[in-house]
Amino acid sequence: MNILSVVYNAQILSNRSPSVDRPKVQKSSNGLTGIGNTVVDIQINGALLANAKTDQLIKWNPIYENFNSIEYIQLSITIRRLIKKLVKLAIPSGSDDGDFGKVILSKVNIPITESQVFGGVTAALSVRFLYPNAQKLNIDSIMDHLKSDYVRNSEISSLKIIQLKVNVTIDTMIVKPIYRTDEKENTPRGKKETII
């Protein structure tokens, strides 16, 4: 008597920019690509901070390096709310609420004149969204939403972001049955970067 056992094969599939060949993925009519999950990673870097009411850049304070200081905590909470507002508008529905990493504040020297610089503040933050079902998401669409939403939603309460750099990566893990031994195929992650 022959017993046929079904072994599950995990494949990492990625959305990539249009200039790169996309892996062939079987799609169902509802857009799902299979059993598995999709992860969208958004990395915000170099978010230059300013006062929303006066348009003046936020001045660097060394206390921002202390993650336990009241000044760091207050500023990082406001930044997190602002970034959450921005990225939630760009992410297609169906994901979790997002996992927001620690806000990292850094000093940036901004030239005012040839001999004078201003010590401003930039913020960096990573956000990860998980879709419980494997989905085919379009990086270009997410980036377009981030750009257009940035214009309308770059400020909250007393803080605004003057410029920022955004990296978006989408990874999809699909688990599908096969009728042979375990195989694992890895393809490069989809990645897109832009400065807004």
Report yes or no on 155 lying in a domain: yes
**Which pLDDT value is given to residue 132?**
84
What does the pLDDT read at residue 87?
Answer: 86
What is the reported pLDDT for 95? Answer: 86
Domain presence at residue 26: no
Domain with 56 in it: 7-17+32-195
Is 182 part of a structural domain of the chain? Answer: yes
pLDDT at 103: 96
User: Which DSSP string do the residues of 154-192 spell out, in sequence order?
Assistant: SEETTEEEEEEEEEEEEEEEEEEEESSS---EE-PPEEE
What pTM value is reported for the model? 0.68
Does 22 map to a domain?
Answer: no
**Which pLDDT value is given to residue 59?**
96
Per the domain annotation, does 109 fall within a domain? yes
Q: How far apart are CA 146 and CA 153, in angstroms?
A: 10
- Number of folded domains in the chain? 1
Distance CA 70, CA 149 (A): 30
Residues 6 or more apart whose Cβ sits within 8 Å of residue 183: 9
Measured distance CA(170)–CA(128) in Å, rounded: 10
| pLDDT at residue number 14 | 34
Average pLDDT of each block of 10 consecutive residues along the chain (196 residues)?
Answer: 29 33 35 69 91 92 96 94 86 87 95 92 94 81 78 70 88 66 51 62
For residue 36, give the nearest of 133, 176, 170 by alpha carbon.
Answer: 133
pLDDT at 73: 96
What pLDDT sits at residue 117?
93
Residues in the chain: 196
In a domain, 2, yes or no: no
Domain-embedded: residue 96 = yes
Q: Is residue 25 part of a domain?
A: no
